[in-house]
Amino acid sequence: MEVEMKIRGLMMDPVSNMPIVILKDAASDTVLPIWVGIYEANAIALEIEKVATPRPMTHDLIKNVLVGLDTHVHKVVVTELKDDTFYAVIWVEREGHIISIDSRPSDALALALRVDCPIFVEADVLNHTKLAANVTDRVTSEELRKWLEGLNDEDLGHYKM
């Protein structure tokens, strides 16, 4: 089962100093932090803040190629968490054919923002991350999760590189 989520914001992990995309379930308080690279975070931040660049960035190029090929992006789905790595799939339709494209979640999210398509996370991924947070002895991970769940609107969107 897929759970629809929205990007709530970007922030820096206070422990690793790496960017985190915060996904939140609109129907509950469930949040999913996904650590991403600096360049991917920048691509997401540019689109969140609607910053126009003089030339197309990589994810703008992907959008332009898909539009040029008359392809519609239906959704992106974070499908799996394996060995601390998230996996995603971009679902597109072209000439009546549905195509799944393997993707890093950060790229899928950056594209989803640009084409305004829904973002989903498999329920198993959400359950697995909750279970991992409960069974692990990494206190910093659990503390970070509690801290993320307690964030309000003013805390999110203050992304600085």
Closest CA to 143 of 21, 13, 25, 34: 13
Phi and psi dihedrals of 90, rounded to 5? -100, 125
At 96-155, the pLDDT tens digits run: 999 999 999 999 999 999 999 999 999 999 988 765 444 443 445 555 566 666 666 655
Task: With CA atoms as reference, report the closest residue to 59 among 77, 71, 42.
Answer: 42
pLDDT of residue 161: 38
Give the H/E segment covering residue 41.
Answer: helix 38-48
Share of the chain above pLDDT 90, in %: 66
Domain 2-149, CATH = 3.10.690.10
Amino acid at 52: A
Q: Is the pTM of this model over 0.85?
A: no
Q: Taking the domains of the chain in order of start, what are their residue ranges?
A: 2-149
Question: pLDDT digit string (tens) for 26-71?
Answer: 888 888 999 999 999 999 999 999 999 999 999 999 999 999 999 9
